[in-house]
Structure 1
Amino acid sequence: MSSSGRIALVTGANRGIGRSAALHLARDGVGVILTYRTHPGEAAEVVKEINDLGVSAVALQLDAGLVDSFDAFVAAVTDALGRTWGRDTFDYLVNNAGTQIPMSFGEVTEENFDLIVNMYFKGVFFLTQKLSGLLADNGAIVNVSSAMTRFYVPQRIVYSAAKGAVEVLTRYLAQDLGPRGIRVNTVAPGAVATDFSGGLLRDNPAIQRQLSGLTALGRIAVADDAGGAIAAMLRDDNRWVTGQRVETSGGIHL
């Protein structure tokens, strides 16, 4: 299969923004290792879509919040790289995987807190650390954050705080990995109509109208609005951009 010679690893790419990012990268000729947590059939379909573009892809299972599983995952990535591409490194990492549990400050339990923080901060930190030895010099990382680190949204306190931590982590990683020529940036989507939060936005026209009225471009986003931005940040056109937060929200709450 044809390829640009580059390979990306995209977590949580069986649906939503991750799927869109994986497909945009494949259209650029980038091979893809995509992860899923509990929907292997969806992941297999994304692999097929990428293969139909003439690009190689592999799906691997990963719970992005389960740090104890990361050593085995790194071994699986190493094996996939060798078997599929004849390489021992990959070029781009997209930390996208996640879920959300809406809850107010008074409702947060320690269990829920740990689940969100493990997935969105601790998991991102240690997965990136574990994979850094496989990440090629002059590569790039995109950490997916949220526009909600910039403004208040009810019942998103832990989620938004964890995403804020990842934005700080991004700047530190940009400095720490800079000597290797590795760029590290954040892409922060706004409201996107996907399966996220049980499809709350996708399936609720009233919320869609409300948010569209708060957005400069006058509509809510679809997955390709964010997925395309992620792929764009990884391209060589952005080779001099690092340590930055790029919000893809259509101008909500300006």
Structure 2
Amino acid sequence: METNNKIALVTGANRGLGKDMALKLAQSGSDVIVVYRNNNEEADEVVSEIKSIGRTAVAMQLDIAKTFTFDAFYNKLSVILNENWNRNTFDFLVNNAGHDAYSLFPDTTEDDFDNLMNVHFKGVYFFTQRALPLIADNGRIVNISTGLTRFATPGYAAYAAMKGAVEVLTKYLAKELGHRKITANLVVPGIMKTNFTKAAFAAHPELEKYVASITALGRVGLPTDIGGIVAFVCSESAGWITAQRIEASGGMYL
């Protein structure tokens, strides 16, 4: 196990993909700040699992849609970094938090659009902006996107558009932060079987079979397929990779 004494901050880390990212980063030798929105029990369980691995972990609450809370969040984080690590910076920012919102283009309301925008683009933009003074030089920014920016599935126009904006933003982050040796990359899952998509799979019993049929590796993705990729992108071995879109979909729609 790599013991690099790095600190990762993962949003939406209390369940699903984010939980696996947090655990895989810990297994790779990083301490983890587990950011969650509204389920502190799940977050505390992740913290306990990370501690059982032998790493340090702290849970912090945040609603990524509420940009007005970011300054207070980072002020609190500065105190936590000092108290737990005797540092004033962290190393890896993983922007994972998100929610599903199916609606066909003609049916999408402004409220639907704004809710997606606030979480998936505006939140990511300004949360990352506020983080810059606390991200150490030679750090990593990993943004989570979706295969829906490459292929079109009806009902996800707004969601995919927000993720498309994040993909463009990531290139600019890589360009503008390169002088600090901070890399910025995208990890891009395909359709995954998680809490995020639980309702869709429940409503359409045939969906899992269909997804498996159009995936080269022949099955639906699981959270455990993604965390290790995020950990790799944050590793020393990936230090020469930046501004890249790394799709981890098992080969969907090839």
CA RMSD of aligned residues (A): 1.4
CA distance in 2, matches of 1:203, 1:91: 40
Q: SS of the counterpart of 2:141?
A: strand
> How far did 1:205 drift?
4.7
> How far did 1:86 drift?
1.0
Q: SS of the counterpart of 1:120?
A: helix
Deviations 1:80-132 (A, max 9, x none): 11111111000000000011111011111111101101111111010000011
CA distance in 1, matches of 2:199, 2:39: 16
Partner of 1:218: 218
CA distance in 2, matches of 1:204, 1:83: 48
Q: SS of the counterpart of 1:91?
A: strand
CA distance in 1, matches of 2:31, 2:173: 24
Q: SS of the counterpart of 1:60?
A: strand
CA distance in 2, matches of 1:116, 1:135: 26
Name the CA shift for 1:36/1:211 in 2 (closer, same or farther; >3 Å).
same
Count residues in correspondence.
Answer: 253
Contact map agreement 1:149 1:163 (CA 8 A) in 2: yes
- Residue identity over aligned pairs, in percent, reads 47
The normalised TM-score by structure 2 is 0.97
The normalised TM-score by structure 1 is 0.97
CA distance in 2, matches of 1:141, 1:86: 22
> How far did 1:203 drift?
8.2
CA distance in 2, matches of 1:101, 1:145: 15
CA distance in 2, matches of 1:84, 1:240: 30
Counterpart check, 1:169 vs 2:133 = no
Where in structure 2 are the equivalents of 1:163-242 lying within 5 Å? Answer: 163-201=163-201, 205-242=205-242
Partner of 1:91: 91
Letter of the 1:242 counterpart: T
Partner of 2:100: 100
Name the CA shift for 1:42/1:84 in 2 (closer, same or farther; >3 Å).
same
Name the CA shift for 1:201/1:162 in 2 (closer, same or farther; >3 Å).
same
CA distance in 2, matches of 1:199, 1:12: 18
Partner of 2:74: 74
Deviates more, 1:65-74 or 1:176-185: 65-74
